[in-house]
Amino acid sequence: MDRATAAEWLLRRVVDPVRASELVGDQLEAHPASGRLRFWISIGGLLLMFSWRTLIGVAASPVMGLLLALTFLFFGGVQTVGILGLSSMTVFHARNYLLGISILFWAVTSFSLVWLGWRSTLTGVGLVTSILWSGTLTFFWQWTPAIVLTVLWAGVLVFCASSKKRRRALGILCSAVVAAWLMAFALSNFHQDPHSVFGKWQGLAALFVVPIVESSITIFLHRKFIASQDTGL
């Protein structure tokens, strides 16, 4: 594999194939006699220029996801009176479990905001879904709020189903959350040695691996299904 082919393959990770080919061609024409080091420095600069939003989004998404999910939970208060005869302890454990999913929803929405901006369909659908999920996490355990939230969820689903872009955006959002949840679940089920200094490595690994998995799925599916027409809701 020559350097032009290798450089084009790398640039295709951050731009479309046509643009990648043009960029490599421009570098070869601008510096036809330059050495390999100068060529690869130029390619590295291009990679950084086109991927800085992605890198910042991956780094910021778990932090923002955690902060936003906890903020909504804090301001919503803690309601432990359950519907359908659920005990307070059952509601408490269910809320903790659903809180993790809320963090993943907010994380992928935060990544989309940094990577794509406010006008993205994925960002808009993610924001609506994350807010509604946080509201459900806080208020669904009482009858009147549960009815209101059920109506709101139905409205959001109908709204998303009415447009191909929104359907695909919701599918991408849910796929990324499911993939991240499965990765976190897999890490949590590795054998833990409580007497080892590395006994809690799963949590540290999740901080790095889960955001990368969630962001990678988001990038791949977005480029495959809605990148060419993503201009907003």
31 φ, ψ (degrees, to nearest 5)? -135, 70
Q: Could you report the per-residue pLDDT of 68-94, keeping only the tens digit for each?
A: 999 988 876 655 555 556 677 777 777
| pLDDT of res. 133 | 93
pLDDT higher at 40 or 196 = 40
Instruction: Supply the pTM of this predicted model.
Output: 0.82
Q: Tens digits of per-residue pLDDT, 195-233?
A: 544 456 666 777 889 999 999 999 999 988 887 666 566
Closest CA to 126 of 144, 114, 108: 108
Q: Could you tell me which residue, 144 or 34, shows the higher pLDDT?
A: 144
How many angstroms separate the Cα of 106 from the Cα of each of 36, 92, 99, 135, 147?
A: 43, 21, 11, 13, 24
SS3 state at 190: coil
* pLDDT number for residue 8: 84
Q: What does each C-alpha distance from 145 to 130, 140, 155, 193 come to in angstroms?
A: 17, 6, 15, 43
